[in-house]
Amino acid sequence: MESKDKKNQLKYLPLLQAKQNTMKQLTINIPDNLYASVVELFKHIPKVTIQEQPDIEIPEWQKKIVRERIKNAKPENFKSYSEVRKIMKKKHGI
């Protein structure tokens, strides 16, 4: 005859197994001089995967366009967050 504790352990075993298989996602910013060391460290942790993101360079032509738009911006062209929220709700149901 199995003990009550043993029955309880078996009853919750699937829940414990499911909890052990859950994963969290972490995004970290690492200084260039530490990058290789940190990546190497994570590679030695079982079940950890590393997805490297390439550096994104903003082209100069795009920066120029944004600078022009900022320079030519007028206060009357801006809307407050509450105004934009009302427009989005009316137009898109958001």
pLDDT digits (tens, 9 = 90+) for 24-45: 888 888 899 999 999 899 888 8
The CA distance from 44 to 40, in Å, is: 7
Contacts for 55 with CB less than 8 Å, ≥ 6 apart: none
Summarize pLDDT for 79-90 with one digit per residue, the tens: 999 999 999 999
The CA distance from 23 to 34, in Å, is: 25
- How sure is the predictor about 10, in pLDDT bands with cuts at 50, 70 and 90? low
The CA distance from 50 to 29, in Å, is: 13
Q: pTM for the full model?
A: 0.37
